[in-house]
Each structure stands twice: as C-alpha cells, then as structure tokens.
Amino acid sequence: MDNIVNVTGGKGGTSFLILGDKKAALIDCGMAYCASNLISNIKRVLNTRALDYVLVSHSHYDHIGAVPYLREQWPDIKICGSEHDKYILNRYNALKTIKELSVQAAEIYGRGLFKEYNDEMMKIDTVISDGDIVDLGGLSIQVLETPGHTRCTLSFLVNNEVLFASESTGVMSQSGKVYPAFLISYSKSIDSINKCREINPKFIISPHFGLVNKIDALQYWEKCILAARESRDFILHLFNLGYGEERILLEYENAFQDEEFRMEQPLNAFRLNTRYMIKAVLNENCRQR
Ligand SMILES: [Zn+2]
C-alpha cells in the first residue's frame, strides 16, 4: 500500500494517487472547490515528477470537479474514463450542471471559493473499458466496468489486490454502515457487487470513505447487497400499497435518512439520489411484469 496515497483535497469526494516506477495516476479527483488543496497534496508526494493520468470512475461533479485545474497544472495529463462519460462531457447541459453543482458545493464547503474554468478543459482524452490495463511501471491498474450507479461506472483494481470499488456497490459511512446508490439500476448494481466480490481483493477502498478496515472488509460485499435489497424492498412494498413516487420519497427519507447521513450529504443530494433509486426500482419492476 506504500504506492497508494490518499491526496483528497477536501470534503465531498475522495482522491488517491497511485505511484508506479515510471508513471503516476490519480483515481478520481473530488470537487472543484478544493482543487488547490488536492494539487498541493499531489505535488508534495510527486516532487518534480509529473502527474500522468487521472482515471475517473464516472462523470459526477464530486468525482471529476477538479479535472480542469489538474489539466492546467499538468498540460500533458491524460484524463481516462468510459465511452459514456466521454459522450456526457461533450454535452452542453451536462457541463452546465457540473459547473452549477460545483459552485453550490463551493458555497457549502469552500467559503464560496470557485475558480472559473473553460468547459473545454472538462473532457475525457482516453476511453478505457473493462479489462484494460494501465501500466505505471512495476504497478498496474485494471479497469472493471461496474454499472448501476451510472450507465458505465468504473472500478479499478491496483496490482490485483487493492480494489477501488465504485458507487454502484454502495457508499460506506464512518460508522461502517453502507448506503446504496443504484441510481440507474438495482439489478446491475447487484451484478457489480457480485463481480467485485468474486475478485476477492485483499484491500477495499470504498468511495467517499477510503480504506475499509480488515474487520469491516469481511462483511463488506454482503452489507452492500443487504443495503441495496433493503432499499429496493422498501420502495416496492410502498409501491404495492399504491403509494406514488413523492410519497415513497417522503417515507424513504423518514426511514433511511439518519443523523450520520445528514452530516455527510446535503438533503438535496439525498433527495435527488433517492428519486433516481425509486425510478430505477419501479422501471425494473414494470419491465419484469
Ligand atoms: Zn456519483
């Protein structure tokens, strides 16, 4: 684990630097407001070396917000992501939403500090897909497609032993509880959890959390499945009682939004994610009938 350094710049999104003998890569880069902290943390580790790659798990603002500033700092950098993310980051509306959410997050977490950037800087240079290997020299990163959170969320396996699990599998909180985040598909998320479990990695890095300790790691995948299933069953139960989406959202909020979660995620983000999960469950349920 000496070659993997947590360089997270601030609250809201984790970021890890992976150091090979020849190249260095960043896995996700967190939000825009804390890009300068992120860059100082990276420089402290790299000294005069350059940052060569950023591997992005998906194109949500809390995972790619710092991309333009990293490109400004290291102009030869290659931003690597899925084909779907490359497409998303060519769309005017998506770029606009990313910037709006980045500005909002800067107000909540970063005293309003937001440095304007050109949308041209926010793009994928190299498309990566399932099975690809990024060779850093003496160290390799394998790309795994693990959809469910988005259409093409990526996970990364470093040297066959450290798995950077994507949000499709869930997000762990400080107390060890796992929250589901299957925004586009429950069943794809379950497949993704099983895919990760089969790899049986020595270490798990949970998104928005970091390294899962040895005890929690034993139960991790099972917890992810139970958390997703509990949410799915709750939504379906209310739907079968005749509840509409808005009412399901309210009941869901009462049941699942505990104190700890309120500390870690703004209510708006919780509602937005829950709305997506309700739609995902109901869509899949209708298709099965
Ligand atoms: Zn996300």
Q: Is the pLDDT of residue 245 over 80?
A: yes
Q: Give the Å distance between the CA of 21 and the centre of ligand 1.
A: 31
Q: Is the pLDDT of residue 117 over 80?
A: yes
Top CATH class of 4-218 equals alpha beta
Q: Is the pLDDT of residue 96 over 90?
A: yes
Q: What is the mean pLDDT of residues 190-203?
A: 97
Q: For residue 252, what pLDDT is reported?
A: 95
Q: Give the Å distance between the CA of 11 and the centre of ligand 1.
A: 15
Q: Give the Å distance between the CA of 118 and the centre of ligand 1.
A: 22
Q: Is the pLDDT of residue 287 over 80?
A: no
Q: Give the Å distance between the CA of 272 and the centre of ligand 1.
A: 11
Q: Give the Å distance between the CA of 237 and the centre of ligand 1.
A: 26
Contacts of residues 16-20 at CB distance under 8 Å and 24 or more positions apart, as own/partner, are 16/164, 16/205, 17/41, 17/42, 17/45, 17/46, 17/51, 18/136, 18/139, 18/141, 18/158, 19/45, 19/46, 19/136, 19/139, 20/135, 20/136, 20/137, 20/138, 20/139, 20/140
pLDDT band, very low/low/confident/very high, at 264 (cuts 50, 70, 90): low
131 burial (CB, 10 Å; 0-12 / 13-18 / 19+) is exposed
Q: Give the Å distance between the CA of 58 and the centre of ligand 1.
A: 7
Residues with CB under 5 A from ligand 1 (ion): 60, 167
Condensed to tens digits (0 to 9), the pLDDT of residues 118-168 reads 999 999 999 999 999 999 999 999 999 999 999 999 999 999 999 999 999
Domain ranges for the chain, please list them: 4-218, 221-288
Q: Give the Å distance between the CA of 72 and the centre of ligand 1.
A: 24
pLDDT band, very low/low/confident/very high, at 289 (cuts 50, 70, 90): low
CA distances 15 to 54, 205, 216, 234, 255, Å, are: 10, 11, 21, 33, 31
pTM tops 0.85 = yes
